[in-house]
Structure 1
């Protein structure tokens, strides 16, 4: 009899997990990945040199309170989904408390390329979990090519080519989630993720608002500043050497800013001391959108670096305020002309 109830409970648990992320090819809960905080600490220590201060201060550097909240107050999972007959990895988080209202969705677009910049569980705790705690469903694609050793299954990163389809597909999957509000889809992109956000928004009319941090907007003028990026472009962008100018412009929003949805509110944030993406990228786009009479807001963190390392809370609060300001609620929809 006890075995019967155990099997029944196990089946119910598996069903509950499956219902959390319908439409995804694979999902594994964060609680299964890291049952205890100490297990996470031990794993991170394996790739942190024993002689570094970070190795010994790991329990203080990893947010334990965020770990507890993520594991016990959120549905958190490592996901896989299909895009163009490839498998793409992702993370998903949503509040596990029941709500009578649909939840807005943030599509988080990471920086980096290929495996560089992949979101690990520590990144989830620090960057994604705080957003889900505010009542949002959060989905973050790793993009195709994030598993370079298996390109047949997981594809190859094209740095703003066909990999943009991975974000489109993630948005469509988000709309299938039972608690997702399809009328309130937001894009949040950092660095290269900002470029991916522009490319995505260019082809859609269902993005409610967008927040971008330190993203390149003109790769043509950025390349002379960082000539080492040419090696990355050449290795990732198809036909780069044959169509260099065209491929760089296609990935640079300043060359087609007027093609963004006219009513799309755009928040631009950047660090005044950014050494990787020049502040002019955000400044020039803000000026262009203003010239086009588009809703745009520009925030400079004067002495901040590329990732706004010392200003993450301020960045997050500005972004959340922007999304809430432009969120369409039922009352607004009912009174709209």
Structure 2
């Protein structure tokens, strides 16, 4: 999807009305049992218990059914990276619920009948298990002086095996993009190392999807894309959250939250490959950008460890569309992250005025299909 988060693309694509989708609620454990999660030694341990790899039941695995906030057990200042881990835990609840909803909604024959390998449902269960392990890992990374966020209710725009698998690719590739920024937010080397380990697992999930589902070369070139502002990508996932459903004691997600306008490619987009010219569309009528008449704006495209800025003409907007050409210098590999900024290179998050978006290059046809 061009110049808009693919999360938003799927939410607005005609896969299914979000309002009509069934929310994830899970089999909720008691508040008292949930508070036991404050003890890092409570329950199965990720990396030591096969639950997080080879459990094949439909019910939510530990700790996915313990959905309340975990209250602090000590007084004192928050840990150095607590806010970063709180953001990541809130995001992980969304991802876990996404896979758990699929496990509950489908079975092995659902995917076989749609033409996918007979191992697809099993792989989805295994990814669900990995995501449950992430929940527990992230809970344990938050210090005893801070709240561990609980689960909201979530809704997802898929209605069959194919629309679900399309969203799998969107979510997994976007996870890789935001984790490169989240590592930069963390201060402790132990936090950075843990996030790198999680990013490697997400990459394996995406590699499976590209190889088995889309029959696409999974190699993304010499470097995956580095995008520095993780919270901007996380903010787009708020569209999956049922309004008013989050635990009252949950911190703001993500924190800090900019609430930038969402971007979309125009419906007439034919290609999202480097060198293609696309139009920009700001899709939320209640959250539109404000362009100063004497300011030059840029579409900033991040690919690999570099970025390229392309001047755009905003003077006639909204009467006339804004057009931009995706830099032809980029290799047609991996993903491209894009924002609209008031400064070349978008050197700080404050210079970003709209976005971000993830331009999926593998498989590029899927991104166009989701417009």
Q: Same fold (TM over 0.5)?
A: no
Structure with the greater relative contact order (CA < 8 A, sep ≥ 6): 1 or 2?
Answer: 2
- TM-score, reference length from structure 2: 0.29
Q: As a proportion of its length, which structure holds more strand? A: 1
Q: As a proportion of its length, which structure holds more helix? A: 1
